[in-house]
Amino acid sequence: MDHYVVFGNPIAHSKSPLIHTLFAEQTGQQMLYATQLAPLGDFAQCAQAFFQRGLGANVTVPFKEDAFRLCNELTPRAQRAGAVNMLSALPGGRLHGDNTDGVGLVRDLTVNAGVALKGKRILLLGAGGAVRGVLEPLLAEGPASLVIANRTVEKAESLARLFADLGPVAASGFDWLEESVDIIINATSASLAGDVPPIASSLIAPGVTVCYDMMYGREPTPFCRWAEAHGAALCLDGFGMLVEQAAVAFTHWRGVQPDTAPVLAALRAQLVLG
């Protein structure tokens, strides 16, 4: 049986084993996918031990940069992101790394939600690893503009410079912006603390602006509740992104593309029911 895992710390809460099990059942693949708690400060040894028998792994917080450093071969988007969330075994004990987060986000927005990104004004909140991982795929969609807003403006400016060759990307502080945009994507962890990034409600054009929170939960996130209260046309959480990025990894590993819609519906129902 082919073995796969998701590395993280903590990791028991991960939905990835269920997602990949449903993908495998749907496509007739014989594989085992489990969680793997990696010790803080010793990800490399844990990963290398797994890959003595395993074929692939997903990587979540806080090990994406550790995984990046462990790879012998990287996709261009992983190289840009400086982080890896998908590892694949290569001959001779070598490792291939990719970052599928941005592809998952774009697919959830464009395919699942039917939101076009081309020619749109996008505001991306945050300047951490989550933002870095999605910038290249977002810019590849051809937005009219993409502004990275962050509490520490210097971090946003650094990212804007790093990705400037890929499209019209700029940096801003949270409180610099007032004019409405087409799409707001929250890539901060504010929702985990029950907070909302300190941005003006005038950024939402009622009935027009689409708001997306990379976080998700059983109830709407604080950011989604804030967006809905100010008239956003659509409020989405990151659950679809989770499923879509997993589908990219599954397709790479198994050579068959799963249908994400029934898996997303099944997991959403489970999330609601608890």
Segment (H or E) for 166? none
| Helix, strand or coil, per DSSP, at residue 235 | strand
Q: How many CA atoms lie within 13 A of 246 on its CB side?
A: 28
Contact in structure between 100 and 125 (CB atoms under 8 Å): no
Proportion of the chain in helix, strand, coil states, percent, rounded to 5: 45, 20, 35
What is the token pair recorded at 252?
């790479």
Does the bond joining 62 to the residue before it have cis omega, within 30 degrees of 0?
Answer: yes
Q: Is 64 a catalytic residue?
A: yes
CB contact at 8 A, 84 and 67: yes
CA-to-CA distance for 66 and 274, rounded, in angstroms?
33
Q: Considering 15, 64, 118, 155, which one is annotated as catalytic? A: 64
Rounded to the nearest 10 degrees, the angle between the axes of helix 16-27 and helix 239-254 is 50
Q: What is the DSSP letter of 164?
A: G
Question: To which residue do tokens 């502080």 refer?
Answer: 173
DSSP labels, 107-147 = HIIIIIS----TT-EEEEE--SHHHHHHHHHHHHT--SEEE
Q: Which residues are catalytic?
A: 64
